[in-house]
Amino acid sequence: MDSATFILFGATGDLAKRKLFPALFSLYSKRRLPDAFSVIALGRKGFTALDFQDYVARALHTYAKQTDEAPGTLSSFLACFRYYSLDVTDTAGYEGLLRLIQERERELDIPENRLFYLSVAPEFFHDIAYRIKESGLGDTKGWKRLVIEKPFGHDLQSAIELHEKMSGSFEEHEIYRIDHYLGKPMVQKLHSVIASHPQIDALWNRNRISNVQITASEIVGVEGRGDYYEGAGAIRDMFQNHMLQLLMMIAMRFPAGRSADETIARKCEVLQALRPISKAEAALHIVRGQYTAGTYENITFAPYRDEPRVQTDSMTDTFVAARLWIDNEQWSNIPFYIRTGKRMKEKLTAITVEFEPKQGECGDGGSSAAPDRLEIRINPDERVFLHYKDRVIEQKADAVARSDGALSDAYERLLLDALRGDATYFTHWEEVELSWKWVQPVLEAFAENRLPLHTYPAGTSGPAAANTLTGKQGHAWWLYEEMAPRKIEELI
């Protein structure tokens, strides 16, 4: 991999300490980073280089999985860091930043490869990109890349505006939009799990699949981010990005190889075939909910409306469920059910593919009571179960389609990919635009209160109204308890 400079805007923030430093350190410890690696950390707070290295060390102590690597690893990692205090809106400050980057490039004798990571509030994305260009930071003799965090826009119009502004400073192929769900190992393995198991592969056709369910439930609430969440809700926080990404990843035609262009094109095919819903009919396909007080393992949770910085009459959705149709040859007439929510009874991200009974199986007395199904658990544990004729067979899921089996963390994988210029698991603008296009009428229907806001007690599976979505097609959500395997056998 090319040596490079990692320029981190927002280095004093929450994401940096909890996710980015641990991911970089883990990569460094596994010798996955270039030997000569320079990190320029940016924030407004005043730190000397040594103070900041100490700050990183403390963050690693709290958030990294392990820091007791080979002697000297931590100190040599910390020595990669320099801190520069910059208000990102201050044009003059970028001159000093450029000098510092160049000084380090000379010291380490590394090419002018620069990765700019924007771990700052989205309102700064364009400002920073523009100043990188104007200040000459982006005039490198090597490559330049811009990694940006979510959210990309607040709705379709704001996303388009942001995209147009950003395009003036960086080319699309230089922009790496993070969706950390795409970095999850099981999400990257979906196709190899299906293709490498003949029993699943044989079931993977439109005549056998009855419906697909995608669930991301969380026990946590809004974790002190009430002000952000009030403007987002589950629809923007999870559905428009992570849930639609899971939908694309499971429903796309499997790419022949691991090429970013092919993967992105195939994912876009899914969104293009997604049947649009108008805001008038949103209530038929979407259920929104908000949690009230409830208990989870003897802990009492306050209602959403009592969270700090949340309106007492808030109509924000903390739960969304949807029924979607993909009108293409592979998936026509097969419903996709998606649900995501906060303060539910389990932390679980999973995809369940339910199969139709084989012709002649139904009513023959020996048929299974529950339909056959493939259950792909993405988080917190990564496991694949095939429920087949009342047996539960655990499938091996280590058939990884890439050489990074050892990298278990989404940020580790995505940072490494960005450094080596692999955009396969990043979100292309076209995906962002298509996903906002589908979601936009739903946002409007929510804003106009065209859908009831159902309540659900914290610590439960969400509002009962979500059952109407599946029930209309004669299906039912798989309950988590029912998903627990009864008998496990190794297939191979």
Ligand X SMILES: O=C1O[C@H](COP(=O)(O)O)[C@@H](O)[C@H](O)[C@H]1O
Positions that interact with ligand X (CB under 6 A): 216, 218, 237, 349, 379
218 binds ligand NDP per the rule CB under 6 A: no
Query: Interface with ligand NDP by CB under 6 A: which range of 6-14, 74-82, 109-117, 164-172?
Result: 6-14
In whole angstroms, how close is the CB of 157 to ligand NDP at the nearest point? Answer: 19
Q: What is the residue-wise DSSP string for 129-164?
A: HHHHHHTTTT--SS-EEEEEPSP--SSHHHHHHHHH
| 381 annotated binding-site participant | no
| 144 annotated binding-site participant | no
Residue whose C-alpha is closest to residue 445's, from 299, 358, 317 = 317
Query: Interface with ligand NDP by CB under 6 A: which range of 12-20, 314-322, 413-421, 465-473?
Result: 12-20
Six token digits for residue 370: 């529950």
Can you tell me the distance from the alpha carbon of 293 to that of 158, in angstroms, rounded to the nearest whole number? 34
Site for ligand NDP in 89-118 (CB under 6 A): 89
15 binds ligand NDP per the rule CB under 6 A: yes
**Amino acid present at 55:** Y
Query: Interface with ligand NDP by CB under 6 A: which range of 10-18, 277-285, 394-402, 452-460?
Result: 10-18
Q: What is the residue-wise DSSP string for 345-373?
A: S--EEEEEEEEPPPTTTTTSSSS-SSPPE
44 binds ligand NDP per the rule CB under 6 A: yes
| 400 annotated binding-site participant | no
* 3 state SS for 68-123: CCCCCHHHHHHCCEEEEECCCCCCCHHHHHHHHHHHHHHHHCCCCCEEEEECCCHH
CA 293 to chain centroid: 28
Measured from the CB atom, the residue of 119 and 211 that comes closer to ligand NDP is 119
Look-up of token digits 């599946």: 470
| 16 annotated binding-site participant | yes
Q: Enumerate the H helices of 207-312 as residue ranges.
A: 226-230, 233-234, 244-251, 260-273, 282-285
Interacting partner of 122 out of ligand NDP, ligand X, none (Cβ under 5 to 8 A depending on kind): ligand NDP
Measured from the CB atom, the residue of 198 and 224 that comes closer to ligand X is 224
In whole angstroms, how close is the CB of 108 to ligand NDP at the nearest point? Answer: 25
H helices then E strands: how many in the chain? Answer: 18, 18
Measured from the CB atom, the residue of 55 and 229 that comes closer to ligand X is 229
115-154 footprint of ligand NDP as x/- string (CB under 6 A) = ----xxxx--------------------------xx----
CA 393 to chain centroid: 28
Measured from the CB atom, the residue of 16 and 24 that comes closer to ligand NDP is 16
Six token digits for residue 266: 């195939």
In whole angstroms, how close is the CB of 124 to ligand NDP at the nearest point? Answer: 7
Distance in Å from the first CA to the final CA of the chain: 35
- Angle of CA points 362, 367, 369, to nearest 5°: 100
Active site residue 428: no
Q: Are 380 and 275 in contact (CB under 8 A)?
A: no
Residue number of the CB closest to ligand X reads 237
Measured from the CB atom, the residue of 4 and 216 that comes closer to ligand X is 216
Residue number of the CB closest to ligand NDP reads 13
309 binds ligand NDP per the rule CB under 6 A: no
Q: Are 119 and 149 in contact (CB under 8 A)?
A: yes
Phi-psi region of 203 (alpha: psi -120 to 50; beta: other; left: phi over 0): alpha
| 44 annotated binding-site participant | yes
Q: Per-residue b/e over 175-204, b at no fewer than 16 CB within 10 Å?
A: bbbbbbbbbbbbbbbbbbbbebbeebeebb
In whole angstroms, how close is the CB of 18 to ligand X at the nearest point? Answer: 11
In whole angstroms, how close is the CB of 239 to ligand X at the nearest point? Answer: 11
Catalytic choice (126, 191, 197, 242): 242
Interacting partner of 88 out of ligand X, ligand NDP, none (Cβ under 5 to 8 A depending on kind): ligand NDP
Measured from the CB atom, the residue of 237 and 317 that comes closer to ligand X is 237
In whole angstroms, how close is the CB of 15 to ligand X at the nearest point? Answer: 10
Interacting partner of 121 out of ligand X, ligand NDP, none (Cβ under 5 to 8 A depending on kind): ligand NDP
Q: Which positions are annotated as active-site residues? A: 242
**Which parts are annotated binding residues for substrate?**
180, 184, 218, 237, 342, 347
**Which parts are annotated binding residues?**
10-17, 44, 87-88, 150, 180, 184, 218, 237, 342, 347
Contact footprint for ligand NDP (CB under 6 A) = 10-16, 43-45, 86-89, 119-122, 149-150
